[in-house]
Amino acid sequence: MMRQYELVDRVRRYNPHVNEDLLNRAYVYAMKAHGSQKRASGDPYFTHPLEVAAILTDMRLDDATIVAAVLHDTIEDTSATREEIEKLFGSEIANLVDGLTKIAKLDLVSKRAEQAENFRKLLLAVVDDVRVLLVKLADRLHNMRTLNFVSAEKSKRIAQETLDIYAPLAGRMGMQSVRIELEDLSFRTLMPEAHAMIVARLNDLQRRNGESIRKVEVELSGELAARGIPAEVGGREKAPYSIWRKMERKSIAFEQLSDIFGFRVIVNTVDECYRVIGFVHTKWPVVPGRFKDYISNPKQNDYRSIHTTVIGPGRQRVELQVRTRGMDDVADYGIAAHALYKDGRAGEFDSLTRESRSYQWLRHTIDLLSEGDSPEEFLEHTKLEMFHDQVFCFTPKGRLIALPRGATPIDFAYAVHTDVGNRAVGAKINGRIGPLLSELQNGDEVDIVTSAGQVPPPAWESLVVTGKARAAIRRASRDAVRTQYAELGKQIISRAFVRAGKEYDDQKLKAVLPRLARNSVEDVLAAVGRGEMFSGDVVKSIHPEFVAARTAGAVAQKGEKGWFGLKKAASLVFKVPSDKAHESEAIPIRGLGGDLPVRFAPVGGAVPGDRIVGILTPQEGITIYPIQSPALMTFDDQPERWLDVRWDIDESDNRLYPARIQVSAINEPGTLGLIATVIGENGSNIDHVEFITRSSDVRDVILDIEVRDLKHLTSILTQLKSKSVVSKVERVNG
């Protein structure tokens, strides 16, 4: 177990101004708090927070973070309290420890919803102070290193969560050394045979190619030194999990991989980076398409380097990464590298991290939390953005937009701004109009064409690849549906007030929201539109003396049967107008796809010219029935669901409406063709055909067709009746 002086010495190596007293007090406090607690390995529990602190000293983090690591399990696992820690160590450290305590349940690796909710807690704690994430990643790293001491089932669950969440999150924070080790440890636990196979292959390859690798290192170092470029040249080996993932993704064998070994060149300045590339490309042939400049275009996680592949000594493919020492620190430690002390001063951490791209990504991810997504949606969206490689595109004004590989102009539009995405109707890619579903390539200039009245189609959600776009489209779809229901609800309520002889007013409704158990006027309107609340109850909440005419309707319906009785009942309850003076009280129906959530009776539909009744169906809006429909009997005892509706059709409107007909015809060749010809020649569509055999000579043909109006339907029925093979034609209403 690491001693007090050893912990202080580790920090002093990179911070000569270490607060030795603070570290010593934290060490003693945590050791006493954990007392005789043991880990699954049998070691004293206190060894764990010390190892977490040691990992963070390798990242050269500040005193407060190291102390938080030492104390990170005290509130969760001992009798220590936040107040006590704040009193002894200050509010900064207390906040860090408290942030880690709130997310401790993540280690339980529980159900998906709980895991997702705790992931939200993690990021919410991180946004206040990103050092919470650094301690959490170090905590997970040490737990993964000691995973062999827990049960096989639990170790696999923890390894899978690490692979799904922590490793990619470390990668997005630029902490590649942590990501690689987390991936390797998870890979070894989840697929031990595959891991062992790849490690064995790598060892064999190292034995066979070790001399060639050293030769390239020596030759490249010598050539650069001769040109006055001081550089460190070292070979690097692709990690086992990266090899496995590439083999799986490209369906290739280990022997087909050409980038298992590569070389890293570390220089002092950016200018020297480009000088190295100039020399390398002059001396050896370049492999086309393998040059990537992440210095001028850094990755989203702040990674900066130049990548190239050449045909080097011995006609071997040599993959090179060229970067400065500072870039190398960021490549290894990512956002943690911003905590490096400058001129021996602390206090730089917060301002530096907030300027980093990885922190900006984190802030963007946190923004999704405020958009009302469920925990599962949030976790899904975040995973999408963590796992994808990137392409870089530009706006017409030159703004750089980083997107996941496979992104479309729709993703680009939402990356620019949510409003741009919601209003997008087209795109120009490099000056040419292209489909909104085009896959964007590196360097594309994208100009989004927008329209003020556009609403994103729900189908877009399955076509985009970024979490932000999916969340925004889903949200816009929900808002559009809610707006439809609110509009319908407002019309229903307004007409209810007219029937009651009262005047509707939003302010009056706002004053009685507590009585209706709703938070806003729009909530009430949407609830009425969805059929969750009766309009008469809204009237009564404002005018308690009002009594809805539900009883009269029920009596009338009980007194008379059949569609005539229904018509009378509807008139009693809803004042179905028989003259034009009352038409303004009825809700106008324009058909499907309008402003209101409307559907037609599932059996037989309804067409303009029919006398119609609307039935308010919860979560579905209005269902339109012809007044003669027998299905209306179902709603005899629910008069509050009946709505007064009327057609509002423009004469120039050529849209079609659903109707069902039944044709009794002689069963002989050509009969169905004749029926279909009559329907087709009249400009009608056939949606569905069903046959009923009455005898060997006669069949009933039931057809769902689409017509313009009642006159159009009557014309088709008349022409069918005139055919010699047809014995009977009638319209069917369910």
Residue 175 pLDDT class (50, 70, 90 cuts)? confident
For residue 493, give the nearest of 539, 527, 531 by alpha carbon.
539
pLDDT of residue 581: 41
- Which pair of structure tokens corresponds to residue 43? 């070691």
Neighbours of 390 (CB within 10 A): 17
For residue 359, give the nearest of 132, 63, 117 by alpha carbon.
132
pLDDT of residue 553: 35
For residue 728, give the nearest of 661, 665, 659, 678 by alpha carbon.
665
- Which pair of structure tokens corresponds to residue 258? 């050409």
pLDDT of residue 337: 67
- Which pair of structure tokens corresponds to residue 244? 């496995």
Residues taking part in catalysis: 76-77
pLDDT of residue 353: 46
Instruction: Determine the average pLDDT of the residues in 157-165.
Output: 85
For residue 574, give the nearest of 546, 556, 553, 600 by alpha carbon.
553
Q: How many CA atoms lie within 13 A of 276 on its CB side?
A: 32
Q: Are 279 and 227 in contact (CB under 8 A)?
A: yes
- Dihedral of the alpha carbons of 365, 371, 375, 381, in degrees to the nearest 10: -50
Q: Are 677 and 723 in contact (CB under 8 A)?
A: no
Q: How far apart are CA 251 and CA 15, in angstroms?
A: 48
Is pLDDT above 70 for 402?
A: yes
> pLDDT for 609-654, tens place per residue?
888 888 887 767 788 888 888 888 888 777 767 877 778 777 667 7
Taking the alpha carbons at both ends of the chain, their separation in whole angstroms is 80
Q: Are 243 and 260 in contact (CB under 8 A)?
A: yes
Q: Are 574 and 642 in contact (CB under 8 A)?
A: yes
For residue 362, give the nearest of 619, 170, 632 by alpha carbon.
170
DSSP reduced 3-state for 665: strand
Is pLDDT above 90 for 501?
A: no
Q: How far apart are CA 86 and CA 95, in angstroms?
A: 8
- Domains, the chain, ranges and CATH? 4-193 (1.10.3210.10), 194-339 (3.30.460.10), 357-475 (3.10.20.30), 477-542 (no CATH), 550-647 (no CATH), 657-732 (3.30.70.260)
Q: Are strands 612-617 and 621-626 parallel, antiparallel or unpaired?
A: antiparallel
Give how far Cα 98 sits from Cα of 73, 199, 316, Å: 10, 40, 54
Instruction: Determine the average pLDDT of the residues in 529-542.
Output: 80
DSSP secondary structure of 85-103: HHHHH-HHHHHHHHHHHHT
Mean of per-residue pLDDT scores for the chain: 79
Q: How far apart are CA 259 and CA 235, in angstroms?
A: 12
- Amino acid (one-letter) located at 551: T
For residue 588, give the nearest of 643, 626, 628 by alpha carbon.
643
Beta partners for residue 686, in sequence order: 705
pLDDT of residue 589: 66
Q: Are 540 and 546 in contact (CB under 8 A)?
A: yes
Beta-carbon contacts of residue 718 (< 8 Å; ≥ 6 apart):
none
> pLDDT for 328-357, tens place per residue?
888 887 766 654 433 333 344 444 444 555
Beta partners for residue 732, in sequence order: 660
DSSP letter (8 states) at residue 166:
I
Is pLDDT above 50 for 560?
A: no
As a whole-number percent, the residues of the chain with pLDDT over 90 amount to: 21
DSSP reduced 3-state for 341: coil
> pLDDT for 38-60, tens place per residue?
988 888 999 999 999 999 998 88
Is pLDDT above 70 for 380?
A: no
Q: Name the strand (E) or helix (H) holding 508.
A: helix 506-511
Neighbours of 153 (CB within 10 A): 8
> pLDDT for 703-725, tens place per residue?
999 988 888 998 999 999 888 88
Query: Whole-model pTM above 0.75?
Result: no
DSSP reduced 3-state for 285: coil
Q: Are strands 645-647 and 685-693 parallel, antiparallel or unpaired?
A: unpaired
Top-ranked range on mean pLDDT: pick from 35-39, 106-110, 216-220: 35-39
Better pLDDT: 128 or 116? 128
Q: How many CA atoms lie within 13 A of 247 on its CB side?
A: 17
Q: Are 311 and 211 in contact (CB under 8 A)?
A: no
Is pLDDT above 50 for 574?
A: no
Q: How far apart are CA 18 and CA 325, in angstroms?
A: 24
Beta partners for residue 400, in sequence order: 394
Q: Are 127 and 103 in contact (CB under 8 A)?
A: no
**E strand spans, 268-304:** 292-293
- Amino acid (one-letter) located at 547: V
Residue 258 pLDDT class (50, 70, 90 cuts)? low
